[in-house]
Chain A
C-alpha cells in the first residue's frame, strides 16, 4: 500500500469534489434514500434462466433515471444485482418481504422458468439446507404478488434458453403463474421505457395496460418496426443493402422489421443514441414470441421448413417442390405423347369433331 499514499488520495478526492461539485448534495441523497421505502409500491425482482441483460438495460433508463426510479417511484425490496443482501439475508429478504407485502407487491421476473427434472437447473437460494428451485419459488411469490411483470423475452415467451432443443425445459412465466396476473415486457433486452412506462401505467391508473394477444402492452408493441422504419423509403424504392454497413433496406440481410411489433424506430435506444437498424444491422425480432426459432435464422428472411427428415429454407423448399412438379408434368407430357392420348380422354373416336 505504500506505493499509493494517503496524501495522493486526498489530492485526488478534493479534486474530484471540486470538479464534480458533489460534496454538498450528500446528505440530501441519503435523506431521500431513507425515505424511499415509505409509501412507494414494493417491488421484488427475481432472476431465473436469464443473462441479467434486462436488469442492465433497466439501469440505462434515462427519464426517469434509475436513481429516480429507486428514490421516488418504487421501493425495491429485492434485486439480485442491486440489493446489498446476500446469502441467507437475501433469501429472508425476498421471502419475508413477499409475506409482509402480500397482495401489495409487484413481482418482476427476469428469465425463463426451467421445469425439466423438477426445475433442478435453476436454484435461487438455500433455506434450511434445502435448495429453493426457481420454478417453485415463483409460483409461491406469484400467488402473493399483486401483479407479475415478466420482463424480457425469456420470461415472456421462453426466449433463448427455450430455443430448440430447449435443454432445460424452459417455459414462460405465464405458464407457471396465472396469465391474467402477468404482464409481458418482451425484448432481448427490453427497452427500459417499456418497463418503466408500463409500471407507471399500473401505478397511475391501478390497472394493467391494454395488451395484445401475446400479453404485451399495446402502448409499446402496437405497431411493427417496418412501418416506422427510417429506411422505409429504401424499401419502397427497392434499394436493398447487400452487406452490413451499406445504405438501403436491410430486408435481404434477414431484417425482421416487417414481422416485429415494437416502437424501437421512434423510441431509439440508449438515450436516443442509436438502434439496431440505424446501426446498419437488421432487426432480429427479439420482441416476438418464438424468438429465436420462429423468428430466425437471424440473417435469413424466414424460418426453415422442418418436416420429418427434411430441413430446408422456405425458398429451397418451394423451389424444389416447384421443380419436382415441373419435371412431373414434363414426364407426363411425354407419356401423353407416347400413348397418343394428347388432346383428351375421348378423342380417339372423336377425332375431328368440333
Chain B
C-alpha cells in the first residue's frame, strides 16, 4: 500500500535550490578567476568577481539558515554523519559495486549521503574562511596567517573547490540514477512510499538501525 509522505519541507527545498544556484555560480566564476583564459565563461574579471562575491553572501546566508533549521527542528539527526555510520559503509559499498542488490534502510539518508552532506557544511566553512582571507586581505590579515599565508589559502580554496565539483557530480549522478522520485520530491516536497519503508525516520527507528 503506497502513500504520499512529506520528504522535503518547503524550507529545505528553498535552501537546497538557493544553495544549488549559489554553489554552481561560485564554481563557474571561481574557475574563471583561477584561469580566465582556460575557463573563458565571463567577459571580464570584474564581472566574474562580482558574481563570485554576491554568491558568496548568498551561500553564507544559505549555510546559516540550513544549520539553524537543522538544529531547530532536530533535522541534524537525519543528516549528521556519525562515527557509527562508518560501520554501515561496507554494506553501502557492496551495493554500489553491484555485489549485492540489497539496499538496507538507513533512514532518510544513507551513510554516504550523510558523509557528503555533513562534509559540505565543513568544506563550506573552509571555503568561506579562505575566501574571506582572499577577498579582504587587508581586513582579515590574521585569517590568511592561519593558513600559512594567502598563497596556501588560495591553494586550499582551489583544491576544496574540486572536492565540491566532484561531490556535486556524484550527488547529481546518484540522484538521477537511483530514484527520480526523490529528485521530484525536491520540487514537490512529497514522495510516494510503501508503508513498511518509511523515508522519514523517527528517533526510535534510528536507534534500531544503529
Contact = CB atoms under 8 A, between A and B. Distances in A.
Nearest to B173: A329
Contact of B154 (A212, A302, A341, A347): A302
Contact of A344 (B46, B170, B179, B194): B179
Interface in B35-78: 35-37, 42-46, 49
Interface in A133-175: none
B39 to A, nearest CB: 11
Given A261-B137, A322-B165, A341-B101, A336 B152 contact: no
Interface centre among A212, A236, A259 (most CB of B within 10 A): A259
B37 A252 contact: yes
Interface of B: 2, 34-37, 42-46, 49, 95-96, 98, 101, 103, 134, 137-138, 141-142, 145-146, 148-155, 158-159, 161-162, 165-166, 169-170, 173, 177-182, 192, 194, 197
Interface in A176-229: 212-214, 218, 222-224, 227
A339 B161 CA distance: 33
Contacts of A339: 98, 101
Interface residues of A, number: 53
A261 to B, nearest CB: 7
A288 B2 CA distance: 64
Interface stretch (A23-31, A96-104, A116-124, A289-297): A289-297
Contact of B46 (A224, A237, A353): A237
B169 A222 contact: no
B45 A238 contact: yes
A354 B190 CA distance: 11
Interface of A: 212-214, 218, 222-224, 227, 235-238, 240, 252, 256, 258-261, 285, 288-290, 294-295, 301-303, 305, 314-315, 317-318, 321-322, 325-326, 329, 332-333, 335-336, 339, 341-347, 350, 353-354
Contacts of B45: 235-238
A213 B137 contact: no
A241 B154 CA distance: 21
B144 to A, nearest CB: 8
B178 A295 contact: no
Given A227-B137, A260-B150, A322 B155 contact: no
A50 B158 CA distance: 34
Contacts of B158: 302, 314, 318
Contact of A238 (B44, B101, B173, B180): B44
Contacts of A218: 141
A342 B177 contact: yes
A303 B138 contact: no
A222 B166 contact: no
Given A235-B45, A259-B150, 15 more contacts: A212-B142, A212-B145, A213-B146, A214-B145, A227-B138, A259-B134, A259-B153, A294-B151, A301-B35, A302-B155, A321-B166, A341-B177, A343-B178, A345-B103, A354-B192
A213 B145 CA distance: 6
Given A214-B145, A223-B138, A252-B37, A353 B192 contact: yes
Contacts of A325: 166, 169-170
8 contacts: A258-B150, A288-B150, A290-B148, A303-B152, A332-B177, A341-B101, A343-B178, A345-B95
Given A213-B145, A236-B44, A285-B151, A318 B96 contact: no
Nearest to B137: A224
